[in-house]
Amino acid sequence: MKIEQSLSALSLKGSLLLLTLLLCGNGLVAQQDGQADRERWLQYLDQLARPVLKNLAEDRLKEYMPVELAPGIDNKAHRTQVAYLEAFGRTLSGIAPWLQLEGGQPSEVALRAQFRAWTLKAIANAVNPEAKDYLLWKGGQPLVDASFFALGLVRAPWIWENLDDTTRERVVSVLLTTRDVMPVYSNWILFSAMVEAFFCRYDLPYDPVRIEYALRTFDAQWYTGDGMYADGMDFRMDYYNSYVIQPYMQAILAVLQGKGKKYEWVSNDFAKISRRYAELQERFIHIDGSFPVVGRSIVYRGGAFQHLADMALRKKLPDSLHPAQVRSALTAVIRKTSESSSTFNAEGWLTIGLYGTQPALSDFYITTGSLYLCSAILLPLGLPETDEFWQGGYKPWTAVKIWSGENVGADHALDIK
C-alpha cells in the first residue's frame, strides 16, 4: 500500500525509475550505460564463439564439440555430421560485423585480433579435405548452414580479403556444391539466394535467377501484411521473419544495390515492411527480457531478434525506436536467455533450451550446432562504441514504459497498399 501511495505522488519519470529499481531488486532488469552494456555483449560473444572458433582453428572441433540431438531427431547420423557446420556458419554470421569493425578499447581490439586469427584458420580447416575438421557441405541441411557461412562473409569483407588464395578457391568450391540441392519451397529459397549473393558480392560468376526467384516470391506471393511474410504458402506465427527471412532479404538487397542492380520493386515496400517488423519485435520484449514462446526453433534463444539487431546495425530503425532503447531491450534478452546456470554445459557449450536445458522445446532438426544462431543478436557490436546505439544510459523500451504507467501512444498496423 505504501509503494502504491508513493507511486501516485511521484512524477511519471519518477514512477518509471522506481519501478525499474524494484525490478532490479527482483533480478528482472539491470540498468547500465552503453559502455557497460557493450562489455556485457562482448563477454557473451566470447563465451559463445570461443569454443567454436578456437577449436575449429586448431582442427579439433569434431573432437571436442559435443553433439546433443533433439529427442525426436529425424536422421541421427546426418544431423550429427552437419552439426559442426551449423555451429560454425551460424556463429560466424552473428559476429561477422564485429570482426569487420576497427578500433575500440584496447581490450576489445585485442579480443577482435584473436578472433580474426581464429576465423581465418577455422575457414581454412573447414574447407580443406585433408583436415580433420573438414565440414560436411553436401546435402539439404548443409545448404542452410553454408548460407549462414556465406552471409558471414558478406557481412565481413575483411575475412574474404585476408584469406589465402587456396582457401578462397576451396570456399568457392564448397559453396558451389550447394547448387545441387533443390531448396524446400519456403524460406529455404533464400538460402540458395544468399549463396549466389556471396558470389555476386565478390565478383564471381553467379546465378541471378536464384536471387530473382527468391525476392519475387516473397514480394509478390508471401507478404501477409503488417510487416510479416509467410514462410511458404501458409502463414505460421513464429520468428522466421527474424531468424531468416527479413535479415536475408536485407543482406541480398544490399549486395545488389552495391552492384548497381535495380530492385526498387522489392526495396521500396520492403523498407516499410522491415521497419514495421522492427517495431513489432521491440514490443515482443517483456520488461524482464523474456518474450512470447511461440513457433518452431524457439531454442535459438536471442536469435529470435536477429531482425531488430540487424536493423540497428544498418541504422534503419524506425523513428519510433531510439537506438539506446533497442540496446537496452536486447541487453535484457541476452541476460534473460543466458542467466540460467544450465544454459551452457560444464565445458562451455550451449545446451538445448530457451531458459537453460529444455530439450522438449526442440524440433526434429535441432542439434547443438543449431543453437548458435543465438549469436545473431550480437550484430550491433559491428557499430563503434561512439555510435548512438552505445551512447548514454539505460533507456526503457515499450513494455517497460507501458507497464510502468507511461502514457504511450497506440500501436497501428502497417498498410502499404
Spatial separation of the C-alpha atoms in residues 246 and 308, rounded to whole Å: 10
Per the domain annotation, does 298 fall within a domain?
yes
Domain carrying residue 234: 34-398
Residues 198-254: pLDDT tens digits?
A: 999 999 999 999 999 999 999 999 999 999 999 999 999 999 999 999 999 999 999
Per the domain annotation, does 28 fall within a domain?
no
Cell of 114: 584473436
Per the domain annotation, does 285 fall within a domain?
yes
Mean pLDDT of 15-43: 67
Residues 95-127: pLDDT tens digits?
A: 999 999 999 999 999 999 999 999 999 999 999
Domain total of the chain: 1
Question: Could you count the other beta carbons within 10 Å of the beta carbon of residue 101?
Answer: 18
Cell of 283: 514490443
Spatial separation of the C-alpha atoms in residues 315 and 271, rounded to whole Å: 12
What's the predicted TM-score (pTM) here?
0.93
Per the domain annotation, does 119 fall within a domain?
yes
27 pLDDT above the threshold of 90 = no
In a 3-state reduction of DSSP, which class is residue 224? Answer: strand
**E strands in 279-365:** none
Confidence of residue 327 (pLDDT cuts 50, 70, 90): very high
**What distance, in Å, lies between the first and last C-alpha atoms of the chain?**
50
In the prediction, which pLDDT does 142 show? 98
Per the domain annotation, does 44 fall within a domain?
yes
Helices 246-258 and 264-284 cross at an angle (nearest 10°) of 140
Residues 352-370: pLDDT tens digits?
A: 999 999 999 999 999 999 9
16 pLDDT above the threshold of 50 = no
Q: What percent of the chain has a predicted confidence (pLDDT) above 90?
A: 89
Per the domain annotation, does 18 fall within a domain?
no
CA–CA distance from 312 to each of 29, 43, 65, 270, 327 (Å)?
21, 20, 32, 16, 9
Question: Could you count the other beta carbons within 10 Å of the beta carbon of residue 414?
Answer: 17
- Here the CATH number for the domain that contains residue 203 is 1.50.10
Residues 269-318: pLDDT tens digits?
A: 999 999 999 999 999 999 999 999 999 999 999 999 999 999 999 999 99
In the prediction, which pLDDT does 29 show? 55
HSE-CB at 386 with a 13 A cutoff on CA atoms is 5
3 pLDDT above the threshold of 70 = no
Question: Which residues is 228 bridged to in the sheet?
Answer: 225
In the prediction, which pLDDT does 32 show? 79
